[in-house]
């Protein structure tokens, strides 16, 4: 459940901000113009995992419906405020986005997702310095804005495996318009870090020297996206470090274990990802397809070849939709044969084999979006998760050993109310 | 001089959240009926700088926020003229436009047109030569110039 204290503090902050805004009044300048926008979602989720695991919307979440609680009201709920200050010096603006959402410690509290200084030296060129959205996919900038899509959450096969949503650094945006074509090119550089909590302790994730390029081509009802990033990534947890050290120690007498130890290196490893998508928005039809390919030199970051497709049909204010997504490890993990060496080596390899859990699964979704008055939208969505191999636990967490590779499908139902202003 | 910061809470603002939640139930059945709307005119004050706009230019102003020095105005979502305008201009339903506006605002790329009631749109057009709005052709106020039209699909 969201912390009542945290929720209350965010609500109070919003109210104070609104009152403060009224108080400063509507007089013109010379301190510029402040725009206040926001979005919120109140969601309830139920997952029928038979008490074997928790459903989570994103990889960094550590609890949810299924095992820790029957109904989950935290993982897909959020409340965000975005302040945009157009300074009197026209090329400069300051943007901040604060979002209260469930964090990795299952605590519903606010964080600053964006805080950047934007400089627009030319009408078609802008540069951002500070904290801005992590450029990971077609909808990375609106990942938390649930009212911007048909589904109750960003497609899990694309966005759930990425534990970060912002990048600290600089990025350059260029807009090129030619007739009906509009091309946005984005080049980013920076670093970020986060913590992923679990019942077994915290895992630290550090991404440095992140270089990203993204190209977004729009024409009328069509949008094409191609982007990618490369980074030095380090993932460390007490378990992975212990496994690495045990394998490394046993490799002194059994050199073949060196390669296995390298799979869990606590040092920085190269990770890169490319993402492509296409969107067609022409009433009554909504069509979206997006896929990603991720390559990693460490088993602590999954190699992925995931995709998602969504089809919606709008009739008045109702839009029923269907979606399908698949998560695939593009290079199957192989269990290692137990060596005929000392007990320590046998134990280390057994622990290595036990660590090889994948997220391979197919997610089928059906849902309905109902656009109400006053910026509200009501959504209902039913997801069917089918784990696709015997080592998979899908997007779920806190699983019992029996859950891994479960054959029976898992159904997840979510009811959500979105708001934006 | 007392310096003031001008602050805009878009659309109906935070206060609307509370009232919207309370009023959502009666609003459930309320839907625009764009098919019944006749010709829609895109208008400015008659002494405004713009004389004529093609569809792509209207699209850029109202959908992409490529507004230049113009100040585009939106009618409320409950007005069927708004639903008809965006359906004809962009092929987008109310929900699709909300999604596009979310993307525009929450990527920091722009902001939606200011939303005003019909009477306020008339007043703004009369007082501001940079204001640009869409109105049903038979109900145009005096002193405006039609810079583009959007007819219903045959």
Q: What is the 3-state secondary structure (H, E, C) of chain B?
A: CCCEEEEEECCCCHHHHHHHHHHHHHHCCCCCCHHHCCCEEEEEECCCCCCCCCHHHHHHHHCCCCCCCCEEEECCCCCHHHHHHHHHHHCCCHHHHHHHHHHHHHCCCCCCCEECCHHHHHHHHHHCCCEEEEEEHHHCCCCEEEEEEECCCC
Which A residues in the span 238-277 are in contact with B, Cβ-Cβ below 8 Å? Answer: none
Query: Which of B99, B100, B114, B128 best probes binding to A when mutated, by most A CB atoms within 10 angstroms?
Result: B99
Query: Among all chains, which residue has been given the structure tokens 């009224």?
Result: A22
Which residue does chain A place closest to B102, by CA atoms?
A148
Residue B145 has what pLDDT?
96
Radius of gyration in angstroms for the set of CA atoms belonging to chain B, rounded to a whole number? 16
Asked whether residue B55 carries a pLDDT value surpassing 80, the answer given is: yes
Question: Given B12, B78, B95, which is nearest A319 (Cβ)?
Answer: B95
Is the pLDDT score of A191 beyond 90?
Answer: yes
Is B106's CB within 8 Å of A28's CB?
no
Average pLDDT, stretch A254-258? 82
User: How confident is the model over A65-90, as pLDDT tens digits?
Assistant: 999 999 999 999 999 999 999 999 88
Does the structure show a pLDDT above 50 at A286? yes
Q: How confident is the model at residue A384 (pLDDT cuts 50, 70, 90)?
A: very high
What SS3 state is found at A173?
strand
Q: pLDDT category, B13, cuts 50, 70, 90?
A: very low
pLDDT greater than 60 at residue A122: yes
Rg (CA), chain A: 23
Whole-angstrom Cα distance, residue A35 to residue A40?
17
Q: Does A219 touch chain B (CB under 8 A)?
A: no
Give this complex's ipTM: 0.75
Enumerate the residues of chain A whose CB falls inside 8 A of the CB of residue B94.
Answer: 317, 371
User: Mean pLDDT score of chain A, rounded to an integer?
Assistant: 89
Least confident of A185-194, A272-281, A344-353, B4-13: B4-13
pLDDT bracket for residue A21 (50, 70, 90): very low
Which among A293, A254, A286 is positioned nearest to A272, based on CA atoms?
Answer: A293
Domain boundaries, chain B: 49-150
Tell me which H or E stretch contains A412: strand A410-420
Closest CB to A142 among B77, B106, B111: B106
pLDDT surpasses 60 at B33: no
Confidence class of residue A246 from pLDDT cuts 50, 70 and 90?
A: confident
Partners of residue B30 in chain A, C-beta under 8 Å: 373
Contact, B24 vs A376, CB < 8 A?
yes
Average pLDDT for A269-288: 96
B12 in A contact zone (CB under 8 Å): yes
Confidence of residue A18 (pLDDT cuts 50, 70, 90): very low
Furthest-apart CA pair in chain B: how many Å? 58
Residue of B102, B110, B113, B128 to mutate, testing the A interface (most A Cβ within 10 Å of its Cβ): B102
Helix/strand number for chain A, H first, E second: 5, 17
A217-253 CB burial, b ≥16 within 10 A, e <16: bbeebebebebbbbbbbbbbbeebeebbebbbebbee
Q: Is A370 left (phi over 0), alpha (psi -120 to 50) or beta?
A: beta
Q: Quick one: pLDDT at residue A151?
A: 97
pLDDT score at A23: 34
More confident residue, B16 or B64: B64
Q: Which residue has the higher pLDDT, B30 or A387?
A: A387
The lowest-confidence range among A17-21, A165-169, A232-236, A263-267 is: A17-21
Q: Are B111 and A35 in contact (CB under 8 A)?
A: yes
- Is there a cis peptide before residue A284, judged by omega within 30 degrees of 0? yes
Q: Which of A236-250, A314-328, A407-421 has the lowest mean pLDDT?
A: A236-250
Residues of A in contact with B107 (CB under 8 A): 133, 141-142
Q: Report yes or no: A18 at the B interface, CB cutoff 8 Å.
A: yes
Q: What per-residue confidence (pLDDT) applies to A53?
A: 97
Say yes or no to pLDDT of A17 above 70: no
- DSSP for residue A403: G
Lowest mean pLDDT among A199-213, A353-367, B13-27: B13-27
**Would you state the pLDDT for residue B24?**
46
Of B12, B14, B7, give the one whose Cα is nearest residue B117: B12
When pLDDT is cut at 50, 70 and 90, the band that residue B19 belongs to is: very low
Cross-chain CB nearest to B92 (options A15, A149, A283): A283
CA atoms within 13 A on the CB side of B53: 27
Q: Which of A190, A191, A193 has its CA nearest to residue A170?
A: A190
A142: left (phi over 0), alpha (psi -120 to 50) or beta: alpha
Stretch A10-14: mean pLDDT, rounded? 42
What is the mean pLDDT of the segment spanning B2-15?
44
The pLDDT of residue B2 = 39
Asked whether B148 and B52 are in contact (CB, 8 A), the reply is: yes
Q: Is A13 on the interface with B (CB under 8 A)?
A: no
Match domain A4-15+33-420 to its CATH number in 1.20.1730.10, 2.40.160.10, 3.90.1150.10, 1.20.120.530. 2.40.160.10
Q: How does residue A200 score in pLDDT terms, banded at 50, 70 and 90?
A: confident
Q: Does the distance separating the beta carbons of A40 and B106 come in below 8 Å?
A: no
Q: Which CATH number fits domain B49-150: 2.60.40, 3.40.190, 3.20.16, 3.80.10?
A: 3.40.190
- Judged by CB atoms closer than 8 Å, whether chains meet at A148 and B102 is answered as yes
Asked if A123 has any chain B CB less than 8 Å from its own CB, the reply is: no
Q: How far apart are alpha carbons A336 and A250 in whole angstroms?
A: 15
pLDDT band at A29 (very low <50, low <70, confident <90, very high): low
Query: How many CB pairs below 8 A link A and B?
Result: 165
Contact B6 A29 (CB under 8 A): yes
From chain B, the residues in CB contact with A371 under 8 A are 94-95, 98
Give the minimum alpha-carbon distance from B95 to chain A in angstroms, rounded to a whole number: 6
The answer to whether A11 faces chain B, any CB pair under 8 Å, is: no
Asked if pLDDT for residue B6 goes beyond 80, the answer is no
The pLDDT assigned to A252 comes to 85
- Determine which of B106, B114, B128, B153 to mutate to test the interface with A (most A C-beta atoms within 10 Å): B106
Residue range B88-103, pLDDT digits in tens: 999 999 889 988 888 8
Q: Is A96 on the interface with B (CB under 8 A)?
A: no
Residues of A in contact with B31 (CB under 8 A): 316-317
């Amino acid at each position: 459940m969201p912390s009542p204290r945290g929720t209350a503090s965010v609500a109070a902050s919003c109210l104070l901000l609104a009152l403060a805004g009224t108080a400063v009044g509507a007089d013109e300048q010379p301190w510029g113009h402040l725009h206040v926008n926001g979005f919120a979602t109140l969601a309830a989720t139920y997952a029928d995992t038979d008490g074997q695991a928790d459903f989570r919307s994103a990889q960094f979440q550590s609890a949810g419906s299924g095992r820790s609680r029957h109904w989950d009201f935290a993982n897909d709920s959020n409340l965000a405020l975005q302040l945009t200050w157009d300074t009197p010096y026209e090329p400069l603006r300051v943007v901040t986005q604060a979002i209260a959402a469930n964090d990795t410690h299952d605590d519903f509290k606010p964080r600053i997702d964006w805080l950047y200084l934007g400089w627009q030296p030319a009408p078609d060129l802008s540069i951002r310095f500070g904290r801005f959205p992590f450029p990971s996919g077609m909808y990375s900038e609106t990942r938390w804005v649930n009212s911007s899509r048909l589904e109750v959450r960003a497609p899990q096969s694309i966005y759930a495996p990425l534990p970060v949503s912002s990048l600290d650094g600089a990025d350059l945006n260029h807009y090129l318009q030619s007739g009906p074509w509009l091309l946005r090119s984005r080049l980013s550089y920076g670093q970020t870090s986060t913590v992923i909590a679990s019942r077994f302790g915290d895992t630290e994730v550090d991404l440095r020297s992140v270089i990203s390029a993204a190209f977004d081509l729009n024409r009328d009802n069509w949008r094409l996206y191609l982007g990618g990033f490369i980074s030095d990534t380090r993932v460390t947890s007490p378990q992975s470090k212990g496994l690495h050290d045990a394998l490394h120690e046993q490799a002194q007498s059994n050199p073949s274990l060196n390669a296995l130890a390298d799979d869990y290196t606590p040092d920085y490893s190269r990770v890169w990802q490319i993402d492509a998508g296409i969107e067609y928005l022409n009433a009554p039809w909504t069509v979206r397809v997006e896929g990603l390919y991720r390559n990693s030199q460490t088993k602590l970051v999954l190699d992925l070849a995931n995709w998602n497709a969504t089809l919606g049909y709008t009739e008045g204010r109702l839009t029923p939709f269907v979606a399908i997504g698949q998560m695939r490890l593009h290079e199957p993990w192989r269990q290692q044969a137990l060596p005929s060496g000392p007990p320590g080596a046998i134990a280390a390899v057994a622990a290595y084999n036990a660590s090889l859990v994948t997220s391979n699964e197919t997610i089928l979704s059906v849902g309905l979006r109902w656009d109400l008055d006053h910026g509200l939208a009501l959504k209902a969505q039913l997801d069917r998760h089918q784990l696709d191999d015997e080592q998979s636990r899908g997007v779920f967490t806190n699983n019992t050993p029996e859950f891994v590779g479960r054959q029976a499908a898992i159904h997840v139902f979510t009811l959500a109310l979105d708001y934006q202003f | 001089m007392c310096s003031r910061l001008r602050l805009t809470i878009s659309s109906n603002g935070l206060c609307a959240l509370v009232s919207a939640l309370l009023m959502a139930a009666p609003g459930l059945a309320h839907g625009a009926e764009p098919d019944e709307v006749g010709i829609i005119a895109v208008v400015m004050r008659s002494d405004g700088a713009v004389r004529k706009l093609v569809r792509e230019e209207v699209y850029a102003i109202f959908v992409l926020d490529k507004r230049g020095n113009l100040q585009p105005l939106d009618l409320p979502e409950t007005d069927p003229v708004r639903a008809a305008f965006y359906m004809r201009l962009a092929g987008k339903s109310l929900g699709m436009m909300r999604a596009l506006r979310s993307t525009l605002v929450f990527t920091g790329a722009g902001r939606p047109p200011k939303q005003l009631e019909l009477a306020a749109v008339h007043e703004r057009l009369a007082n501001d030569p940079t204001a640009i709005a869409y109105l049903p052709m038979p109900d145009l106020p005096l002193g405006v110039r039609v810079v583009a039209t959007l007819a219903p699909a045959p």
